Amino acid sequence: MITVTDLRKVYRQGKKEVVALDGVTLSVPKGSIHGIIGHSGAGKSTLVRCLTLLDRPTSGSVSIDGTELSSVRDSEIRAARRRIGMVFQHANLMDSRTAAGNVAHPLELVKTPKDKIRAKVADLLSLVGLEGFENAYPSQLSGGQRQRVGIARALAAEPDVLLCDEPTSALDPATTDEILDLIQDLTKRLQLTVLIITHEMNVVKRVCDSVSLLSKGRIIEHGALKDVAGDLESKLAKALLPLPASEPLKGALQGGPVLEILFAGDNAKEPVLTGVARHFDIDLNVLAGSVETLGGQQFGHLRVQLAENADYDAVLAYLHQRGIGAKLAGTKTTASDAVDLDAVDLDDADLDKTQLGDAAGRNS
């Protein structure tokens, strides 16, 4: 388990002070994967450098299973670093070493006997699915294979925590999925604590158990994936379950109120919409929707338009009563105003809109 408490990092640029991390607190239990998502400039790189002790934090602490890392003396810093294995965006392998040589590198540093190194390296390479590539140089490997070597190397010193800094951002979608599956599999098998720092929501959706949203050096939202995704008000939910921009339909339902509805877990299986239609005897239309399985739970995010005369307060009450997140997204009817969806405004979250779903980009 890794615990970060009120981590602050202030850089000096001449006379100016730049606050890169402004009190980051998070905690990741053993055997789980935590995603830290944020825009470039949000402080992700600084956080990585503070966690690996490449930079000393200005204040605050980083501890693994209760052992404080951030305040160790310089002489103990190397032992402390070995408790965290790190996977880099570009693998950062040594070009002069073979795959086996790269995995052996951390073991050589502590004078491990040669035969032990050989056995351990063979184990690690088969663990990441690279049997038979012992003697290949990084230049002879594909991007995904290089990243596998990088993961094997990160695990060589048997760390408690695996820190992945944009591990898939340089890979194609198919390879990304393979590497994420591998990380997920290793987490379970080796009972690792994994931190994935990324700007890709897809990575969070696929493997993370919990997630933090980092913005301007602060964590502005965090929680288990199924909790944040089920909260209609959270920025992460909007990014996890993005809705495309849509205009209210003209025609039968023109002028009707527009609702945003978020189903989570068991609710996603209920025929709620037809329930509303029958109960209130009104017509309704789905304008946009997104359905995903996140953290093992089904989620549905819908934008629906009701008939003009519908009593939307009653409909909202009906939905809330059944534990379904719902809110009025807009009642404006003219095309120029379209749907008033300030709901999907991610601007203050400082997230890159294109990376976090189109809905934000088109509506703000």
Partner 1 sequence: MNDIFSNPVLAKALPEAIVETLQMVGISAFFTVLVGLPLGVFLHVTAPGGLRPMPVTNRIMSDVIVNITRSIPFAILMVALIPLARLLTGTSLGPIAASVSLSIGTIPFFARLVETCLRDVHHGKIDAAQVMGSTKMQVINKVMLRESLPALVAATTTTVVTLVGYSAMAGLVGGGGLGKLAYNYGFQRFDVTVMIVTIVLIIVLVQVIQLVGEQIARSLDHR
List residues binding partner 1 (CB under 8 A): 52, 54, 78-79, 81-82, 84, 86, 88, 90, 92-97, 105-106, 108-110, 137-139, 153, 156-157
**Which parts of 220-357 fold into alpha helices (H)?**
225-229, 235-240, 272-280, 312-321
Among residues 78 and 269, whose Cβ is nearest to partner 1? 78
Among residues 109 and 119, whose Cβ is nearest to partner 1? 109
Minimum separation from the CB atom of position 172 to partner 1 (A): 20
Degrees to nearest 5, angle at CA 61 with 93 and 81: 25
Minimum separation from the CB atom of position 52 to partner 1 (A): 5
What is the residue whose two structure tokens read 């709901």?
343
Residue 94: how many other CB atoms lie within 10 Å:
12
Among residues 139 and 336, whose Cβ is nearest to partner 1? 139
193-198 and 33-38: which strand pairing?
A: parallel
Among residues 110 and 317, whose Cβ is nearest to partner 1? 110
Minimum separation from the CB atom of position 51 to partner 1 (A): 10
Among residues 157 and 190, whose Cβ is nearest to partner 1? 157
The Cα 290–Cα 303 span in angstroms is 9
- Crossing angle of helices 173-190/143-156, nearest 10°? 20
Closest C-alpha among 237, 211, 213, 205 to residue 301: 237
Among residues 69 and 356, whose Cβ is nearest to partner 1? 69
Contacts of 144 by beta carbon, 8 Å cutoff, 6+ apart: 171, 175, 178, 179
Minimum separation from the CB atom of position 201 to partner 1 (A): 25
Closest C-alpha among 21, 80, 60 to residue 215: 21
Closest C-alpha among 92, 193, 197, 108 to residue 156: 108
Among residues 92 and 184, whose Cβ is nearest to partner 1? 92
Minimum separation from the CB atom of position 349 to partner 1 (A): 29
Please tell me whether residue 111 adopts helix, strand or coil conformation: coil
The Cα 306–Cα 284 span in angstroms is 4
Minimum separation from the CB atom of position 101 to partner 1 (A): 10
Among residues 6 and 76, whose Cβ is nearest to partner 1? 76
Minimum separation from the CB atom of position 82 to partner 1 (A): 4
Minimum separation from the CB atom of position 76 to partner 1 (A): 11
Minimum separation from the CB atom of position 89 to partner 1 (A): 8
Among residues 84 and 211, whose Cβ is nearest to partner 1? 84
Closest C-alpha among 5, 28, 2, 22 to residue 224: 28
The Cα 159–Cα 153 span in angstroms is 11
297-306 and 284-294: which strand pairing?
A: antiparallel
Kind plus residue range of the DSSP H or E element containing 124: helix 114-127
**Contact by Cβ (8 Å): 210, 30:** no
Minimum separation from the CB atom of position 137 to partner 1 (A): 4
Copy the structure tokens of residue 198: 């990324």
Among residues 194 and 258, whose Cβ is nearest to partner 1? 194
